[in-house]
Amino acid sequence: MHNVATPDEAFAGASGRDSLPATPTYFERPMLKAPHWEWNVITYLFLGGVMGGLGVLATIARDDRDDERRLRRSARYASFALAAINPLILISHLGRPERFLHMLRIVKFKSPMSLGVWGLILFSGAAGANVARELADAGVLPRWTRHFAPSITTPLQAALGAFVAGYTGVLLSATAIPLWGAGKTHIPAASVCSGFAGACALASLLATIEGNHAVTRKLERLEIVAGGAELAILLDFKRAAGSYGAPMFEGARGEKLRTHTLLAGIVAPMALNLIGSAIRLPKPLDAVRTTAASILTLFGGYVLRETLIEAGKASAADPRAAFRQPR
Amino acid sequence: MAKTTIDLTKMLSAGEGLRLSERVGMMPNLASERTRTLKGRIAHAKPVVSLCPYCAVGCSTLAYVSDEGKLLDVEGNPDSPISGGHLCPKGSAIFGLTVNDQRWTTVKYRAPYSDRYEERPLAWALERIAQRVKETREQTFVKSSDGKRVNHTLGIASLGGATFGVEENYLLGKLMHSLGVVSIENQARI
Amino acid sequence: MPGLGTSFGRGGATVWVPDLAHADCILIEGSNFAEAHPVAFRFVMQAKERGATIIHVDPRFTRTSAMADVYAPIRSGTDIVFLGGIINHVLANESYFKEYVAAYTNAAHLVREDFVDTEDLHGLFSGWDEEKNGYDVATWDFERDEHGAVVNDPTLQHPRCVLNVMRGHFARYTPEMVEDVCGTPRASFLKIAELLAKNSGRERTTAFAYAVGWTQHTAGVQFIRTAAILQLLLGNIGRPGGGIMALRGHANIQGATDIATLYDLLPGYLAMPSALRNEQTLEQYLKSTTKPSGWWANTPKYVVSLLKAFYGDAATKDNDFCYDYLPQLTGDHSTLPTTMAMKDGNVKGYFVIGQNPGASSQNGELTRSAMERLDWLVNIDFYDNETVSFWKREGADPSKIATEVFFLPAATVVEKEGTMVQTSRLLQWHDKAIDPARDSHSDLWYFYDLGKRLKALYAGSNDPKDRPILDMTWEYDHDDPHERAKGEPSALRVLREINGFYTATGEQVKAFTDLADDGSTAAGGWIFTGVCPDEHTNHARSRSGDDSTSLNWGWAWPANRRTLYNRASADPDGKPWSERKKYVWWDEEKREWTGYDVPDFPKTKAPATPAIPGGKGLDAHSGADPFIMNVDGKGQLFVSGALKDGPLPAHYEPLQSVVRNPLYEQQSNPMLRQWDRPDNAYNKAVDAAYPYVLTTYRVTEMSGIMTRYVPWLAELQPAAFCEINPELAVEKGIKNGGWVTISTALGEMEARALVSGRLRPLRIAKGQRVHQIGIPYNYGSQVAFARGDSVGDLIALSMDPNVSIHESKSLTCNIRAGRRAPRHSGVVDADVPSSERTTMGQSSALGPEDLRDPAALTHHARANDGKDASHGMRQMGQGDRPSPEKGA
Amino acid sequence: MSTGFFTDTTLCIGCKACEVACKQWNELPSDGYEFTGNSYDNTSQLSGTTWRHVAFVEQMHVEETTIDDRWLMMSDVCKHCTHAGCMEACPTGAIIRNEFDSVFVQPDICNGCGYCVVSCPFGVIDLVNVFNAEASGAYGLATLNDQRLDDKQTAVQATGGVAGKCTLCYDRQTLGMTPACAKACPTESIQFGNLEELRERANARVESLAKRGIEASLYGAGDVGGGIGALNAFFLLTDRPEAYNLPVEPVLPSTRQPAGYTAAALTAAGLAIAGWMIFRNA
């Protein structure tokens, strides 16, 4: 095609475009359709991760330690609450309540959305059963109701929780959006980490409110691990994604990722948490520190999802990335 | 509204439910009632042979009409040796030309010096037009000019004819010539 | 159509559209075939798939060019040079079809000795009268013997035989000249010339296709003449896969010419009586219009039958069949002069039917402001449009416009029945599918109703001037009770009247050969006689097509012939020129013409039949004269006297051109007609202020008001745009997609820029770089989903001398980035008393869309616009013959 | 029977009859009236309400020769993939494969989640969200609002929209009719029929074009790779796929699921173990 003035070239002078694109594309038109997802889906994904992480925490926590006992209870309540809220957020995205029911017509193993919804429902069931158990233990419900929640629901909630947290990543990575596809292992793994960290943060926050300071140390250590893993995964994602990663890691969005997600959402709470485990601060100050760390982590979790979605939209608009889609 | 939830209950009800196992898995093929009974809207419509009104190639069209006399669809007539059932974009849009909420389907009248149109009854407008034609003709009719019989009026002109039919041209011409109008023109010159 | 009509005999495309598939080569020039006629273009594609070479010559690289095997750019308006160059090439290389030319054309006729060619008169032919500003065409004739018969030289050796006169005339049209004038690279031109010659002859045929890209020029008829000459030389007329395809623009353009609503024509190409000729009585008129030999010897039969169809029993032999009921012409009453007359206050009432001159006419502002001077305007259409709403256009002040405006809602094609004539002269009937929406009615209904009302208004009048209205037969009630109840007339009854009937019995006439001049037959349009040959038959409704000539699909005038002059598809002896190109031939056993088509020749006239010198009608032709309409039965290479601007085509620059005519001293067509007045200002030729060529066209997705409201079409081409090449865009700082303003002496328009390499700058003589700018002619700025300024607002009115067609295809302009200034139109004529203006106008405040610029409210400039200007029209001389050549 | 489209771009004259015929039959509104300046392409893309889209690619030489100037045109459409990303992604079962082997969106089932939109490797399917009173005014003939359609309620669903794309005129096929676009196409650039026959015809076409010196290739007549398989709507192209805005290496998104689930599971397991250890060692 030498000597051929492509539309780009022919127009370059006329439109005052500064540099010619490397590969001629179709008028720089996007080849792919961008996601129609806004705050509600971002929130749905974020809360799904937190909710799932809480389910795991509730299982890790032991009955015979008071602090962990209380953690388990608050984690169960919180994850059940989120499991109740999340479908409402999804419905707000779908437009009408009965549309959610269409999701229940089938189970489709190849659709992360389908599996995720069923996972969410089963998780809600397990969470509900476990909440019932807590309520029975607390005497709110008659004690015999405890029998309706078999002991299997505890590990089940953990397993489903892990799934729910992970599926929010697969939901993105198993799409045609080049950026997301390039993160086919990173995004699910990072989602799980973010979910765990978020769960730890939320649990710490609740524990701080409750005055259950003993457990916050444990949670914070786990949060450090999850945050560290997330950081490592995201950095590796940047490396592995190469040019597909540009919409996420470069430019203004990359800057936001670095300052908001990585620095404010991961590094800062990690540092706060490390301070917490290294130095014993006065109680009120420590509560502030924990609260700050938790809020930053949760903020980081939301911003990660937001960045992923927004960068996904930008990635969809890049025809060059879409011409050769990541395997 | 209820219709959207019916599918779920139907799926779980007897018969449907039995085959649930087939439908759960990798690639379920769950056709709804609407899908199973889907038929093009012209299944029982009457095709009427018409013509494309745009360019002069003369593509034959089929206008599908429902029992109630409503236009459902206009598409190419495959029997035509000229068009073979094909149509260009304009021809494919004849339906949109005809059924269009922008179309003016009533008389619009603008009085002298007015800044707006008014709706007027058709019969009123036609009678007024006839009177105005007569009035102008009376004012401007010339029987002879330079000693020659001319029997014409230059006070009335008509433009149009290439977008309507042969018979319409003929009647317009016959009427205008009988009125003595000579400036009878159409798109053919334009 | 004089271009085709004077050459071959009939003003219609010679080609049956599907037959294009059988061409070996197709030259598309003056037409954007694929875009303007996409469905017919499938036959071009079929030909291409069968191995034919498709050639497109056009100022722009269009969707047609994209499909062509060979594309050559050309400077708009120089087609005579391009085609003349091919004629010169063919003559110089002796590659014309010699047997065909010798037998079927007037190549052997000797031209009068006193005829002087443009070669010797700097671009003028002999007979130019500077004072009269016109030609005396006497010298443009053939040498005749003492009996008036034309002198021939069958050896083609005589220097004054037509062939040799042509050799001299076209000698100047060399490949170098083509490159210098047209900007077409020499290699491309030579390739095309060779392709045409190679694909013509006994075994192969080449077809030409053109459209308004040739007609809308001040020398448009001569463009077509050049093509006709070339096709005659190549022997492609009347043969399968050959001919000249005139692509008409609108559904019934052909029908509106056949059953004419054109000022100078009566139905069937009969001339409108004119006071400029001596046609006061029927006898005088027939004498003036009847030809001694050829088919037009039958004129009296058709005229009398027409009068009987119009005036029925009132038309008798004693009263000249009411001949004096017909009005007489006193000038050019075609649309452009009428617009000028309207502007000058001489037209009071205007019917505009299915037409939007407010957006589609040239000099749009003149057209729209002319309507301000009307007493009343009746518009029949589907949608609001720039014509009916002229009084609220940008800058206009409705409170000062006295025109009473009526909009009558029209029925669309599916809401009515009737016949349309397509581009191959094929009559096709369409049935009615649904009732018209609400108050909408067919145009037929409106005309019928108006006729009835006027008859009632004039009832009892004794004034002779009212007799035509009272005596006009007007009985078309529908047979269907449902339709009759709504007052719908029967289109079939009208078509039957056009077909003709015996006045005594009411029986349908079967063929135009049965028509008589004694009042025993009535026929509203003799060329259609045969379409309804009996009470039960309507051939226009025949719907049985086939892969060949589809003689049972619709009905083509004349006499259902598909390819015209098809006698020429056989050699003089009546045998096919070749097996491959067999079409119509003489069956010696049955002693008749036979073939795949209805022979365009007397069925039993043997090839060997000699011509009878001085014979009447077709007796004057031999059995080997295929062009039966012509006086001599031959194709006319040299046209004697019938055209106003020359017997042979000569290149003149467009009226508004960027260069001096490189061929002759004569810059533009000496016979072109123009109005030099302030409201119709022209760009001067070679004016540095207007250095670019401007050409106009339409796009596939749009027609006009019939598409601009259809969302499906409007989204495809939503705005007026302007195509310019990247080089010019860079020079002018124009951004693709941005706004540009294009200007001429007449005014400005704005459009969106479409920067494209498809508009290649041309290099012409002395290395001059010519930029061509293209603007589609589909938009109007007032209404609809797709809109934008109309390019018509840039085009001053000028006309071709033969058919009064405007020049819209080759103009000059300037261009700049950015949007235009608001318009201050709405100039009001002084006839309305100012007191009345204020009182009538007080209550009506202007809408926001009426004025873009509040300053316009106080702007009363250009009052009496053009009123005092001299009429200024040059060349208003009247034609002495009907001129059924049409554009669009 | 498997049916499909063979779109031969060498026959396309860019008239856009396919776009209009499709909208007419399927009663789709316009997508707005935006002048793009991108050659003659003002609809720009396939959308939820534009199911055929004609791409225009101008390749004009800068120098004076015109010999190799090209203006490529291609009518794009849903590919009806053998393994369709949209259908796999659809959580409601709204997207099904019908008896003609085409991928069909059931508008009465679709809940507008939009997951199919991001799961199409060709960027075809999109949400339709102009079906409300306000939009119909802006966009003109929103015929799904037309009272003549008894199922408009289900078709329109809600203001949230439903996914829309080519149905391969399922409702016409049930009547034995050719899809609207293929029927309208004046030059038969769009050919509809039995897939096997279409593929044979397409291969023959490539050979015959090669004999004329025209280099052409088929896109989607065979496996396009990435796990998608062959396309039921395939194309004959005379330039690289990217020139027409087609992906040269499309990937079926679901092929990434195993890796994703595995990574998620391993991470979750790792963190759970870490948590377990942290809780126990504290």
DSSP states along C13-42:
-SS-GGGGGG-SEEEEES--HHHHSTTTHH
Residue C206's contacts (CB-CB under 8 Å, 6 or more residues apart) are C23, C24, C25, C26, C27, C196, C199, C200, C231, C234, C236, C241, C242
With CA atoms as reference, the chain D residue closest to C64 would be D13
> Which has the higher per-residue pLDDT, A21 or C675?
C675
Residue C221 lies in a domain: yes
Low-confidence stretches of chain D (pLDDT < 70) are 62-67, 129-161, 282
Q: Place A22 in a pLDDT band, splitting at 50, 70 and 90.
A: low
Backbone angles phi, psi at C143, to 5 degrees: -70, 135
Q: How far is CA D178 from each of CA A236, C522, D99, D230, rounded to the nearest angstrom?
A: 52, 47, 15, 21
Q: CA C313, C319, C325 angle in degrees (round to 5)?
A: 80
- Model confidence over C247-257: pLDDT tens digits? 999 999 999 99
Predicted pLDDT at A301? 95
Lowest pLDDT segment from A132-141, B102-111, C107-116, C752-761: A132-141
Select from C223, C249, C275 the last residue of a domain.
C249
Q: What is the DSSP string of A14-36?
A: HHT-SS--SS--STT--SSPPP-
Residue C747 lies in a domain: yes
Could you tell me the residue ranges of all domains in chain A?
35-320
Q: Is the pLDDT of residue C493 over 90?
A: yes
Predicted pLDDT at A310? 96
Which of C710, A171, C493 minimizes the C-alpha distance to B88? C710
Residue C297 lies in a domain: no
Q: Is the pLDDT of residue A14 over 60?
A: no
**Within the 144-173 window of chain D, which residues sit less than 8 Å (CB to CB) from chain B?**
146, 148-149, 151, 153-154, 157, 169-172
8-state DSSP, D56: E
Token representation of residue D43: 């609809």
Select from C817, C844, C872 the last residue of a domain.
C817
Distance in Å, alpha carbon of D231 to nearest chain C alpha carbon: 26
- Model confidence over C739-775: pLDDT tens digits? 999 999 999 999 999 999 999 999 999 999 999 999 9
Asked whether the beta carbons of residue A106 and residue B8 sit closer than 8 angstroms, the reply is no
Q: CA B127, B133, B134 angle in degrees (round to 5)?
A: 90
Asked whether the beta carbons of residue B188 and residue C887 sit closer than 8 angstroms, the reply is yes
Asked whether the beta carbons of residue D171 and residue B7 sit closer than 8 angstroms, the reply is no
Which of B175, B187, B141, B177 minimizes the C-alpha distance to C270? B177
8-state DSSP, C741: E
Predicted pLDDT at D154? 37
Asked whether the beta carbons of residue B3 and residue D108 sit closer than 8 angstroms, the reply is yes
Q: CA A218, A220, A221 angle in degrees (round to 5)?
A: 65
Q: Is the pLDDT of residue C139 over 60?
A: yes
Asked whether the beta carbons of residue C65 and residue D139 sit closer than 8 angstroms, the reply is no
Tell whether D238 is within 8 A of chain C (Cβ). Answer: no
Predicted pLDDT at B61? 98
Could you tell me the residue ranges of all domains in chain B?
3-36, 46-98, 107-189
Q: Place C877 in a pLDDT band, splitting at 50, 70 and 90.
A: very low
Token representation of residue D239: 């330039």
Element (H, E) at A91: helix A66-94
Question: Which residue(s) pair with D76 in the sheet?
Answer: D53
Which of C187, C230, C197 minimizes the C-alpha distance to C7? C230
Which CATH number is C803's domain given? Answer: 2.40.40.20
List the beta strands (DSSP E) in C87-151: 128-129, 134-135
Q: Are strands D70-77 and D103-105 parallel, antiparallel or unpaired?
A: unpaired
Backbone angles phi, psi at D56, to 5 degrees: -125, 120
Our count of domains for chain C comes to 2
Which of D152, D105, D153, D99 minimizes the C-alpha distance to D125? D105
Predicted pLDDT at D129? 60
- Model confidence over B110-169: pLDDT tens digits? 999 999 999 999 999 999 999 999 999 999 999 999 999 999 999 999 998 788 999 999
Q: How far apart, in whole angstroms, are the C-alpha atoms of residue C801 and residue C673? A: 6
CATH number at A35-320: 1.20.1630.10
Lowest pLDDT segment from A39-48, B5-14, C541-550: B5-14
Which of C500, D44, C529, D92 minimizes the C-alpha distance to B23? D92
**Within the 29-68 window of chain B, which residues sit less than 8 Å (CB to CB) from chain A?**
30
Compute the mean pLDDT over every residue in chain B, rounded to the nearest whole number.
86
Q: Place C827 in a pLDDT band, splitting at 50, 70 and 90.
A: very low
Q: Place C871 in a pLDDT band, splitting at 50, 70 and 90.
A: very low
Q: Is the pLDDT of residue C835 over 80?
A: no
The pLDDT > 70 percentage for chain C reads 93
Predicted pLDDT at B25? 42
Residue C855 lies in a domain: no
Predicted pLDDT at C33? 98
8-state DSSP, C111: B
Q: Are strands D95-97 and D233-237 parallel, antiparallel or unpaired?
A: unpaired
Contact yes or no for D18/D178 (Cβ under 8 A): no
Q: What is the DSSP string of A109-165?
A: TT-HHHHHHHHHHHHHHHHHHHHHHHHHHHTSS-GGGGGGS-TTHHHHHHHHHHHHH
Distance of CA C675 to the CA centre of its chain: 21
**What is the domain range of residue C201?**
2-109+173-249
The pLDDT > 90 percentage for chain C reads 90
Q: How far apart, in whole angstroms, are the C-alpha atoms of residue C634 and residue C551? A: 26
Q: Which residue of D30, D54, D82, D108 to mutate against B (max B Cβ within 10 Å)?
A: D108
Distance in Å, alpha carbon of D177 to nearest chain A alpha carbon: 31
Residue C265's contacts (CB-CB under 8 Å, 6 or more residues apart) are C257, C271, C272, C882, C884
CATH number at B46-98: 2.20.25.90
Q: Is the pLDDT of residue C879 over 50?
A: no
Element (H, E) at B49: strand B46-51
Dihedral sign, CA of C728, C730, C731, C732?
positive
Which CATH number is C102's domain given? Answer: 3.40.228.10
Overall average pLDDT of the C9-38 stretch: 96
Beta carbons within 10 angstroms of residue A252's beta carbon:
7
Element (H, E) at D18: helix D17-26
Tell whether A13 is within 8 A of chain C (Cβ). Answer: yes
Q: Is the pLDDT of residue B1 over 50?
A: no
Q: According to the per-residue pLDDT averaged within each range, which of A85-94, C689-698, D161-170 is highest?
A: C689-698
Residue A110 with chain B: CB contacts under 8 Å: 26-27
Q: Place C488 in a pLDDT band, splitting at 50, 70 and 90.
A: very high
Q: Is the pLDDT of residue C608 over 90?
A: yes
Q: Helix, strand, or coil here: A5? A: strand
Asked whether the beta carbons of residue D186 and residue B39 sit closer than 8 angstroms, the reply is no
Q: Place A3 in a pLDDT band, splitting at 50, 70 and 90.
A: very low
Q: CA C692, C694, C696 angle in degrees (round to 5)?
A: 165
Distance in Å, alpha carbon of B165 to nearest chain D alpha carbon: 24
Select from C249, C273, C292 the last residue of a domain.
C249
Among the partner residues A6, A30, A229, nearest to D123 by beta-carbon distance: A30
Token representation of residue C828: 């009001």
Overall average pLDDT of the A141-157 stretch: 83
Residue C581's contacts (CB-CB under 8 Å, 6 or more residues apart) are C202, C203, C204, C205, C239, C240, C241, C569
Beta carbons within 10 angstroms of residue C85's beta carbon:
30
Q: What is the DSSP string of B118-183?
A: EEE-HHHHHHHHHHHHHHHHHHHEEEEETTEEEEEEEEEEEE--SSS-HHHHHHHHHHHHHHTEEE
Distance in Å, alpha carbon of A100 to nearest chain B alpha carbon: 10
Compute the mean pLDDT over every residue in chain C, rounded to the nearest whole number.
92
